[in-house]
A and B are shown apart, each in its own frame.
Chain A
């Protein structure tokens, strides 16, 4: 390596200031917190679950980190990793869809926006999934719809609880009606799980919008959200254009969703695992080895 390149690389490594996704950054990076504009050392950020120690801003996390944050160490085994988009409409308006998917696959190393699998949380068997916003805005096309549906079906077959960490821009318009119908498909699978009496907990993180919010994301028995997460059906800009006045402070924030009765609580990232485990302890008492009611003994 020419000495100049070496210097450049070293500079990049030491002084890059970025607001990129936490889990994809090496330790030796300085980054600016978008919440308080303070400069933070990535090593510190990583140690605090990618939460700003000054202002509590929750940085975006990649799907595998989302899962690692919740499950018993080493318990996660991925399923359906080989599902990829087939570009069924040959969508090439403006930017070819196949190209966007290829670029996302290369930059993230993921096959699509959803990562799903089996794991345990405090010993409770779960079917767990997380959406990764870096992959075409974690939009739901055929692959995400299929993986989420299979996740619910796995939970049903193996009597596991379903846990999904959701972030999404909505339906993936490049797959047209096939995308829209994934809303109905995932909702149908969630409904089957519900009928079987198995619990489903969803965790909404920033940002969750459109057809994903309006389907499986909010059909959970218990819904939590991370602090400051924006969650809605229509995006804030569209709402603003529709009503022709400015939006109130905190509109569509996790905190306002609690006020309006839409979710069960705002939970700090560091406390998520404990909170989910407690809920599952109540709703999956059988599977955890404790009888649900005395009569069962």
Chain B
């Protein structure tokens, strides 16, 4: 499979390919080659450092959407054991864009809920590219209520471009399904740990996207609107998404600065897809660490603190008016 190349890393990838070609040649028959390879290796190293040292918000958005980026399924298989998937909203259908399961993390029983993008085109079509229908949110809410009933902590993984804006989705109450998730999640009597692993697209992400802790991967984003749609509204031009991405304050750093996210899990240069295992492992230990702290808190206090946490979000001026 040809490697997926993000626009901004094209110069690096071209150089890397050239290096690979040279390395494939017979070094013994070409005496100058070894030196040339060494030069090129240094050049690749230098370019990699400068290119990935300080990604712009729009570049991070592209990294977060990288098709090879670790997805909910990868976290599920690497971190969780004895997984029993919960399917269906008990009203209309099962939406594969959101998964919910009973699972065990480091010996702790939890309910895990995550947006689910696919690896292959076929999988992505079944999962609607990770953009949920109302049924997905209703299944998520069912899983939340189950967690509350049996005192299990909730872990959620965010990776969606947003709730699907389809005709039937509107008719079946997309807004209602999201709103009900928000209300339920806000008052859940069990710990809720949220991890932004990729895309955090608007209301579709928020429906399972807030709780007692918000852990963001370095290149994950979380935004009120997609940079493209924002550019469409502001400039009538989706090509200006980079400017919108900067204006929207959607990076992990921005979220910590705004008091919305708590911590950031670093990624290797270029993104988590370049070396997924340590990133996934780090996410696992951060979730466990958060749950260790939260599990000692009684439910009334959890609910109270979650409310106060939400209550504090917002920046405005106030005069005696």
Contact = CB atoms under 8 A, between A and B. Distances in A.
Interface stretch (A6-14, A52-60, A233-241, A284-292): A233-241
B321 A82 contact: yes
Contacts of B235: 94
B182 A234 contact: no
Interface string B274-287: 00000000000000
A30 B20 CA distance: 76
Contacts of B321: 80-83, 111
A195 to B, nearest CB: 7
Contacts of B260: 177-178, 181
B211 to A, nearest CB: 10
Contacts of B174: 214, 232-234
Nearest to B176: A218
Nearest to A211: B203
Nearest to A85: B316
Which label, helix, strand, loop or mixed, suits the secondary structure of the B interface?
helix
Interface residues of B, number: 59
Contacts of B176: 214, 218, 262
Nearest to A185: B310
Nearest to A190: B183
A249 interface: no
B223 A177 contact: yes
Given A181-B313, A214-B174, A252-B170, A219 B247 contact: no
Nearest to B170: A232
A183 B178 CA distance: 10
B224 A242 contact: no
A177 B250 contact: yes
Given A93-B234, A111-B321, A173-B230, A243 B167 contact: yes
B167 A247 contact: yes
Nearest to B306: A188
B199 to A, nearest CB: 14
B146 interface: no
Interface residues of A, number: 65
Contacts of B255: 177
Interface string A207-236: 000110111111100000000000111100
Given A83-B317, A145-B314, A214-B178, A180 B224 contact: yes
Contacts of B315: 86, 88, 142, 175, 178
Contact of B186 (A80, A143, A184): A184
A179 interface: yes
Interface string B162-195: 0111110111111110111011111100000000
A215 B182 contact: yes
A171 interface: yes
Contact of A176 (B163, B166, B203, B248): B248
- Chain A to chain B: the 8 pairs with minimum beta-carbon distance, closest first: A82-B321, A234-B165, A188-B186, A187-B182, A142-B314, A88-B315, A81-B321, A94-B234
Interface in A242-287: 242-243, 247-248, 251-252, 256, 260-262
A70 B248 CA distance: 38
A129 to B, nearest CB: 15
Interface string A77-97: 000111111101101111100
A191 interface: yes
B244 interface: yes
Contacts of A252: 170
A120 interface: no
Interface string B201-231: 0110010001000000000001111000110
A111 to B, nearest CB: 6
A4 to B, nearest CB: 40
Given A218-B179, A242-B164, 13 more contacts: A82-B318, A82-B321, A93-B234, A94-B235, A142-B315, A145-B314, A175-B315, A177-B224, A183-B179, A190-B183, A217-B175, A251-B167, A262-B176
Contacts of B30: none
B50 interface: no
Contacts of B202: 171, 180, 211
Contact of A82 (B166, B175, B319): B319
B307 interface: yes
